[in-house]
């Protein structure tokens, strides 16, 4: 009987250690990236999800091409300020940009912590609720570019992608 109690007790300690380690890693990884990252920090500003989505919806309504890519609207905005949201588990909307033109990409998450990796802008950012980041980019090569989430955000994280087309 004593052997059974010890094995059950050992099992619970294993579960407690596993849960503690997981919670520690999930909370420390964003802090590690934010505090000790060698990359320069982007320009950021405070937002509310509602205000950011209002700006995003206005851009979509004005510049939507009428096409959908994987059920997400394709927009063709002019150079200047453009908006992109990270939401579980997608980037919204799909952007169609012009080669050689300069854009200020405002990025925000509307639900939880997400990462933003975009080779065209040479950016790997941590997006946190309540804050938007601004990345300036001037596409020099036409093509289809993938956006990826680089911070674990849930079970569908590995499938979280977005698209930017450069013409």
147, 77 contact by CB (below 8 A): no
Average confidence (pLDDT) over 9-26 = 74
Q: The domain containing residue 22 runs over which residues?
A: 1-36
Residue 4's pLDDT band, with cuts at 50, 70 and 90, is very low
In 10 A of CB 93, how many CB atoms? 26
pLDDT given for residue 64 in this prediction? 97
Kindly state the average pLDDT of the residues 70-92: 95
What is the tens place of the pLDDT at every residue in 48-75?
999 999 999 999 999 999 999 999 999 9
Q: How far apart are CA 59 and CA 81, in angstroms?
A: 10
101 and 27 belong to one structural domain: no
Three-state DSSP at 96 gives: strand
Domains identified in the chain, total number: 2
- If asked whether residues 86 and 17 sit together in one domain, one would say no
């Amino acid at each position: 009987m004593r052997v059974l109690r010890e094995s059950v007790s050992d099992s619970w300690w294993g579960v407690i250690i596993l849960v503690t380690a997981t919670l520690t890693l999930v909370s420390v990884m964003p802090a590690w990236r934010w505090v000790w990252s060698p990359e320069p920090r982007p320009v950021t500003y405070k937002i509310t999800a509602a205000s950011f989505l209002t700006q995003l919806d206005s851009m979509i309504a004005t510049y939507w091409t009428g096409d959908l890519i994987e059920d997400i609207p394709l927009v063709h905005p002019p150079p200047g300020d453009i908006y992109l949201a990270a939401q579980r588990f997608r980037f919204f909307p799909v952007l169609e940009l012009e080669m050689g033109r300069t854009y200020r990409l405002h990025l925000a998450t509307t639900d939880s912590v997400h990462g933003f990796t975009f080779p065209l802008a040479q950016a790997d950012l941590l997006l946190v609720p309540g804050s938007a980041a601004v990345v300036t980019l001037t596409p020099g090569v036409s093509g289809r570019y993938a956006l990826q989430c680089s911070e674990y955000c849930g079970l569908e994280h590995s499938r979280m992608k977005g698209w930017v087309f450069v013409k």
